Structure 1
Amino acid sequence: MFNRFRSVDLHLLAVLLIVVMAALPLLTRPGLPRHTDLELHVFRAAEYAGVWRDGVWYPRWAPNFYYGYGYPIFNYYAPFTYALSSAYALIPGVDGVAAMKGVLLTAFALGGFGAYFLARRHFGSQAAVIAAAVLVLSPYFVFIEPFMRGDAAEFLALGLLPWAFLAFDRPRFSIGQPIALALIIFSHNLLALMALGLLIVYVIWRGVLIDGKRRWRGDAVSIGLALALTAILWLPFFAERGAVRLEVAGPGHFDYHNHFVSLAMLLSPSPALDFGATAPKYIYNLGPIQWLLLIPGGIVGVARRKTPAGRVSLFFVVAAQLLIFLITPASEFIWDAVPGAALVQFPWRLLGPAALALAMAAGAAVSGKWLVDGGRSRRADHSSPFTRYLLLVLLFALLMTSLPTLYPPLWDAEFGDTSPRGAIEFELSGVARGTTSTDDFLPVPVGRVPPPNEALLASYASSLIDKLDRSSLPVGSTAQVEAHTAVYDRFRVEATAAFTARVLTFLFPGWRASIDGQEVPIGPEDQSGLMLISVPAGSHVIEIALQLTTPQLIGTLISLGAAVISFMLIVTRPRASAQNEVPASLQPSMSLSFFLSVLLFLVIKIAVIDRCETCFRYTSPPGQVLGAQYHQNAHVGGHVDLLGYDLPVNEVAAGGALPMTLYWRATAPVPENYQVFVHVGVPGVAPVGQSDKLNPGDFPATRWPQDKYVWDDHRVTIKADAPPGEYRLIVGLYTLDDGRRAPVLDETGHVTGDAVVLDMPVYVK
């Protein structure tokens, strides 16, 4: 019995409990959050699964988005998240929402166990548990990414990141290296670029300081094979980049200049959340224990710089410091100088890789006297009472400081309809078209998105969706839909005269049309970008099919060839050696202490803390913002109230930027989506500073509930030639189409103006 007990790695079970604790909202609540990017990913996954069911093994076209006109988002966006969700949806009883939950749970598990095994290789099991906790309980990984941003694709890529480092940790080529890197590339476009850059620096570091430069040949083969495996994605992306709109950088919301995070915020603990908000206000931070452990991690790395483990420690310590620096405004000159840096969009995206670097630094910090030197390993006595208690206290501190992030906002139990018609209804609500906010990946011929076609929408209730616009038929002509799939339509037409058929699908490279089996040209309709086909009089069969373009075919063949090579390498690979790995150290005393400590904390959390509605979170009453720095009420448009604002600083230099937050609340259903402006100036005079946003709080006003408030962050840019002096902040709402401002009303309902002048002055120096 004792031998069986010793054979169980209780450290792994402790990590499992930490992962379960982090993912508990997904395990205990029905549905998934809406009003974040997660709802976009759910609709994409449902669309991807539908194309799969039509027999397309690698979907490139989303046929039901953009009111049913379709567009090629999957030709450009990394597909692994949606493929994995679609695979989970094949399980009986698992719907699209549950399948996406499965993806998020997979990401949690991958991150936790990946960090554990990576840290265990260098620092031992006890340190590996701490490293796993540091990553999984980091605010960005446990809270911001899965629940507040809801970027399922990036979250999955983050979960895979430690496995890529684990694979490239080996000094020689291993088939796990290209597979791990390929999975990250298939998961998220932007994080793949960051991961590839970090891995290249890591293998260079190891080649120079640990393994020798001979390893680089194997690394080059691994990276090359990973690129070949993913050619099916990136080759068409670059070759057909000009066929779609893709405005992912530049002025506005996606300008990286607007998304730096101050060092003070990064080092701050996570605040308690206000559940009185539609989406509780949170901060981009590292976690206090996470960054504090960076200091001893650096000391340990320097002290052991002559050992492989010490040099690995130093890499992650340096990487963490560099990543943290790149998130802060002080690094702006680097972002400005590096070509392509603007594609990252949000510097705080680096919090994900930084969390892994901090996890490894933490593992080094608590590793005692673990050393790995030339294949020989020895370890210190981690079973001493002082060391054991110190590690348990540290684990407890990690768990305690993470509590504010373990309570994401509540969401509705019913997610809603994710069918093709449900996706169109989501678009009709005005939130987003095509599951993007800026019409990314829309074919270039589409100058202006045509309005929904009522006949097309009505056909979604029938057995076959009808993409032929009947208004384009000559008088007395008839048409019948004979077949429809995601990438194919067939119509039988009886035409009384020659005509130009209007097919309700956006034209994109790869679409082919034939009449009675003979290929005919397709043209785009001016502005709408819909297909136009010249049809002669008489009885005809019109067929439209999406075929592979030359770049898509070449990319597919390269990836298939690389997959065959990878399979052959897998079945013929020699048994891997683990001689350089630190022993797992299955000491029952210490591993049992870790396991029981985490289990006890989880039980207390579920039984006590979860039932306390004011522990680590609070709820502002309707019409109030308890956490607002300044309270000021104003009635706007007859259905929106301004409740207050935050103004951390009220002095700014000319050419600088002033951060602030507005708090809004709907007092009645909002009839239209407002835009918001913040001006710095004097009423009636041209402003010297300004900030405009498409949606206040990045949340369409027509969807605002009446029992919660919306927080609306701004970075007000001051003109470089602004005269010094005292100014006021002037805020208001307007409609984008006509620029009309919503009136400001007094308590009796009389109009007093079209903007609210805030009480606190600001000073331009």
Structure 2
Amino acid sequence: MFASEFIKKSWKLYLFIILISFPPLIDIFKTADLPHTSDGAMHLARFAAYYKEFTAGQFPVRWASQFNYGYGTPIFNFFHPLPYLAGIPLIALGLSLVNVLKVSFSFTYILAGVFMLMFSRFLFKDEKKALLVTVMYQFAPFRFVEMLVRGSLGSLYAYMILPLVFYAVVKFLDKSTYLHFILIAVSVALLSMSHNIIGFVFFAISVFYLFFTKANLKKTAAVYFAMAAGLGMAGFYLIPAMIEHKYTYGYLLTKDLFYEHFPPFYKFIIPNITNTAKLRIAEVSIQIGLFHILGLLITIYLLIRGKLQKMKLLAIYSLVVTAVALLFMQPVTKPIWENVSFIRQFQFSWRLLAVICFTSSLTSVFIYQMKFFQKRMVYFGLIILIIISTVYYWVPYQGYQKVSQEFYWNYPKSTNYFGEINSIWMAGEPKEYPKSRIDIIAGQAEVSNVKLFPELHRFLVSAKTQATLLDYTQFYPGWKVIVDNNPASIQFQDMNHRGLITFNVPAGDHIVSVQYTQNRLQTASNLISILLVLVLVTGIFIYRGKNII
């Protein structure tokens, strides 16, 4: 009776998903310490820097003035902004940086389940199938690795938003209202801002999904148009990130990383219950999950036997995407990785396990096609087994670390591991703070009344002769020097001060401002995003819930 009620009442089904999502999160809230993960500590520094830049008036946030020992970096021009935007209200509410990260882990994980249930309920029109698919998604082993081993916050946002994108698509294909059109656009925009790499991969499989539906050409075109609108809404981030990549070292220093990250196939299969290094790549366990493999195998079996007429396209889609992901994680694809620079930016082939977390969860619906699993006790026994089979992933195996909030609020170094965001004009990452913010490197002059703000350095110069000044700030397009309300030329290729802002002032007394502003490309990208938002909002008043096709 208890189980039956869960199936009959949809709100209880959502409550059930929320409740079963709490146990994997309990351990991180038992302590005030930070789970020791690959990226967790760096997120603390980025949360703090992003918040400070935002509250100082910079939006969209692109420049982080505190990093690189105060020389600054355009890190937020290239790093996915959604996790740090979402962190702003949490910090404003008074949460510590550690708790901001833990809360971010939690709500992205829980909402991923809620959105997956929304999508699967509508797609399958069957509560039991939807519940099974959602539980499989929530308890895919690699998702816990992403959270509690890698600390890949952007990936967690992508996992959360992906089922929302699919939900929006299937809703629009069923009933092509304008609100469903907007939901596609908004969800794609959020996905684009969630994680540079995983967000792109998830977007690609969303686009590919349309080829495996029975939607007519008009509806398919409308979905793609909505997706394009979503990319445009995120244009303020996407356009500069892609075009201005040429101003940075990019992935020059990481272009060969992929060679070390082609895992043997058996590591995908065998559960790493004892956390042995033999089943990991570095610190990362890369198991697909026994029940997820079961779903894939049953799908193949039923497809071969011709027993999937109603959902044949979904089965083919899931298997094709899974197969492609597995293929690109094998050494046989090395020539592609070697010759396609874009793919090398993925760095680690096993990132594509994120795709299999989703597609293998979809194939679990075909487990329910087997009469044996339709028995009530067997069905709920399967649900329980799926959950408890991942218990050993629920605790950060690398333990916890005590952190100083003050240290990360004023974190001095870079938060990118390979220098990929440093400008091409820099000689290398700074190792210490400059002795002074402004120096005279030629001529006779004095600097006084220095006032420093995150994106503005203002001071007075009294020069007996023409003088050359050095501002210890990494040059990046957008920085300007204003001398007595007149723009001055910036020299950033001085071999003695590579990549730093140098400029000349004539003899006399001057008011000087060195300030960061959005450059032309960034401004144009901002306008594209604003324009698309205004157009989509205006459309609400025009269509008012009507079908647009």
Taking structure 1 as the reference length, the TM-score comes to 0.65
Judge conservation of contact 1:106–1:156 (CA < 8 Å) in 2. no
Taking structure 2 as the reference length, the TM-score comes to 0.89
2:405 is aligned with 1:417:
yes
Which residue of the partner structure matches residue 722 of structure 1?
Answer: none
Deviations 1:264-294 (A, max 9, x none): 110111222379xxx9955211111111122
User: What letter matches 1:199 in structure 2?
Assistant: S
Deviations 1:315-353 (A, max 9, x none): 223322332333233444554565632222211101111
Q: Percent identity?
A: 19
Return the match for 1:485 from 424, 428, 453: 453
Which residue of the partner structure matches residue 169 of structure 2?
Answer: 168
Which residue of the partner structure matches residue 385 of structure 2?
Answer: 397
Which residue of the partner structure matches residue 157 of structure 1?
Answer: 158
Which residue of the partner structure matches residue 227 of structure 2?
Answer: 223
Distance (Å, rounded) in 2 between the aligned partners of 1:202 and 1:385: 27
Which residue of the partner structure matches residue 482 of structure 2?
Answer: 514
Distance (Å, rounded) in 2 between the aligned partners of 1:14 and 1:447: 55
> How far has the Cα of 1:368 moved from its partner?
6.5
Distance (Å, rounded) in 2 between the aligned partners of 1:444 and 1:547: 20
Distance (Å, rounded) in 2 between the aligned partners of 1:367 and 1:167: 26
Which residue of the partner structure matches residue 438 of structure 1?
Answer: 418
Aligned counterparts, 1:168-247, within 5 A: 168-169=169-170, 170-171=172-173, 172=176, 174-206=181-213, 210-247=214-251
Distance (Å, rounded) in 2 between the aligned partners of 1:348 and 1:450: 32
Judge conservation of contact 1:86–1:99 (CA < 8 Å) in 2. no
The structure with higher relative contact order (CA 8 Å, sep 6+) is 2
- Structure 1 residues 182 and 34: CA distance shift in structure 2, 3 A: same
Judge conservation of contact 2:467–2:504 (CA < 8 Å) in 1. yes
Q: Secondary structure at the match of 1:196?
A: helix
Distance (Å, rounded) in 1 between the aligned partners of 2:131 and 2:443: 72
Judge conservation of contact 1:301–1:311 (CA < 8 Å) in 2. no
User: What letter matches 1:222 in structure 2?
Assistant: A
Aligned counterparts, 1:682-721, within 5 A: none
Segment of structure 1 superposing worse, 500-509 or 190-199: 190-199
Deviations 1:352-389 (A, max 9, x none): 111011111112322579xxxxxxxxxxxxxx997111
User: What letter matches 1:229 in structure 2?
Assistant: M
Q: Secondary structure at the match of 1:442?
A: coil
Aligned counterparts, 1:296-695, within 5 A: 296-300=298-302, 303=306, 305-307=308-310, 309-332=311-334, 335=337, 340-366=342-368, 387-409=375-397, 411-412=399-400, 414-417=402-405, 422-424=410-412, 427=413, 434-456=414-436, 467-469=437-439, 472=441, 477-482=446-451, 484-524=452-492, 525-526=494-495, 527-570=497-540, 575=545
Judge conservation of contact 1:270–1:282 (CA < 8 Å) in 2. no
Deviations 1:117-142 (A, max 9, x none): 22222332222222222122112102
Q: Please identify the structure whose Cα radius of gyration is greater.
A: 1
Deviations 1:231-289 (A, max 9, x none): 1112222332222211267554x2x23211222110111222379xxx99552111111
Distance (Å, rounded) in 2 between the aligned partners of 1:7 and 1:393: 20
Query: What residue ranges of structure 2 are gaps of 5+ in the alignment?
Result: none
- Structure 1 residues 165 and 477: CA distance shift in structure 2, 3 A: same
Q: Secondary structure at the match of 2:60?
A: coil
Which residue of the partner structure matches residue 117 of structure 2?
Answer: 116
2:74 is aligned with 1:72:
yes
Segment of structure 1 superposing worse, 523-532 or 158-167: 523-532
- Structure 1 residues 410 and 243: CA distance shift in structure 2, 3 A: closer
> How far has the Cα of 1:34 moved from its partner?
4.0
More helix by share: 2
Deviations 1:13-44 (A, max 9, x none): 22112211222233333232345212112211
> How far has the Cα of 1:51 moved from its partner?
0.3
Distance (Å, rounded) in 2 between the aligned partners of 1:421 and 1:211: 51
Q: Secondary structure at the match of 1:240?
A: helix
> What is the total number of aligned residue pairs between the two structures?
530
Judge conservation of contact 1:161–1:195 (CA < 8 Å) in 2. yes
Distance (Å, rounded) in 1 between the aligned partners of 2:315 and 2:117: 15
User: What letter matches 1:175 in structure 2?
Assistant: I
> How far has the Cα of 1:229 moved from its partner?
0.7
> How far has the Cα of 1:419 moved from its partner?
5.6
Distance (Å, rounded) in 1 between the aligned partners of 2:539 and 2:326: 38
User: What letter matches 2:446 in structure 1?
Assistant: S
Deviations 1:636-676 (A, max 9, x none): xxxxxxxxxxxxxxxxxxxxxxxxxxxxxxxxxxxxxxxxx
Judge conservation of contact 1:14–1:129 (CA < 8 Å) in 2. no
User: What letter matches 1:544 in structure 2?
Assistant: V
Distance (Å, rounded) in 2 between the aligned partners of 1:550 and 1:60: 14
- Structure 1 residues 34 and 50: CA distance shift in structure 2, 3 A: farther
> How far has the Cα of 1:311 moved from its partner?
2.5
Distance (Å, rounded) in 2 between the aligned partners of 1:235 and 1:487: 22
User: What letter matches 2:327 in structure 1?
Assistant: F
- Two-structure CA RMSD over aligned residues (Å): 2.9
Deviations 1:393-425 (A, max 9, x none): 21122122211111213644632235676301x
Distance (Å, rounded) in 1 between the aligned partners of 2:458 and 2:448: 10
Segment of structure 1 superposing worse, 101-110 or 51-60: 101-110
- Structure 1 residues 535 and 153: CA distance shift in structure 2, 3 A: same
Judge conservation of contact 2:140–2:288 (CA < 8 Å) in 1. yes
Distance (Å, rounded) in 2 between the aligned partners of 1:233 and 1:219: 22
Q: Secondary structure at the match of 1:504?
A: strand
Judge conservation of contact 1:249–1:343 (CA < 8 Å) in 2. no
Judge conservation of contact 2:117–2:134 (CA < 8 Å) in 1. yes
> How far has the Cα of 1:163 moved from its partner?
1.3
Q: Secondary structure at the match of 2:448?
A: strand
Which residue of the partner structure matches residue 695 of structure 1?
Answer: none
Judge conservation of contact 2:303–2:312 (CA < 8 Å) in 1. yes
Judge conservation of contact 1:112–1:132 (CA < 8 Å) in 2. yes
Deviations 1:701-726 (A, max 9, x none): xxxxxxxxxxxxxxxxxxxxxxxxxx
- Structure 1 residues 96 and 576: CA distance shift in structure 2, 3 A: farther
> How far has the Cα of 1:69 moved from its partner?
0.2
Segment of structure 1 superposing worse, 348-357 or 122-131: 122-131
Q: Secondary structure at the match of 1:366?
A: helix
- Structure 1 residues 554 and 280: CA distance shift in structure 2, 3 A: closer
- Structure 1 residues 247 and 318: CA distance shift in structure 2, 3 A: closer
Q: Secondary structure at the match of 1:194?
A: helix
Judge conservation of contact 2:97–2:405 (CA < 8 Å) in 1. no
Return the match for 1:12 from 2, 11, 14: 14
> How far has the Cα of 1:543 moved from its partner?
0.5
